[in-house]
Structure 1
Amino acid sequence: MSIDWAALGQVFGVSLLVTVGMVGVFTLGILGTSRKAAPEHGGAAAVSGGAAGASALARTGAYTCFALCAAAVAYGIYLIVA
Structure 2
Amino acid sequence: MKIDWAALGSVFGVSLVATVALVGLFTLGVVSLTKQEAATQAGGSGTPARTGAYACFALCAAAVSYGIYLIVT
Equivalences for residues 53-64 of structure 1 within 5 A: 55-64=46-55
Unaligned runs of 5+ in 1: 40-46
Cα displacement (A) at 1:76? 0.5
The root-mean-square deviation of aligned C-alpha atoms, in Å, is 0.9
Q: Whose radius of gyration is greater, 1 or 2?
A: 1
Aligned to 2:17: 17
Matches within 5 A, 1:1-80: 1-35=1-35, 36-37=38-39, 38-39=41-42, 47=43, 51-52=44-45, 55-80=46-71
How many Å apart are 1:28 and its aligned residue?
A: 0.4
- Describe the SS at the equivalent of 1:3: coil
| Post-superposition offset of 1:64 | 0.3
**TM-score, length of structure 1 as denominator length:** 0.81
Shift of 1:34: 1.1
Question: Between Structure 1 and Structure 2, which shows a larger proportion of helix residues?
Answer: 2
Percent identity over paired residues: 64
Larger RCO, structures 1/2 (Cα 8 Å, 6+ apart): 1
Structure 2: runs of 5+ lacking an equivalent:
none
Q: Which one-letter code corresponds to 2:68 in the other structure?
A: I
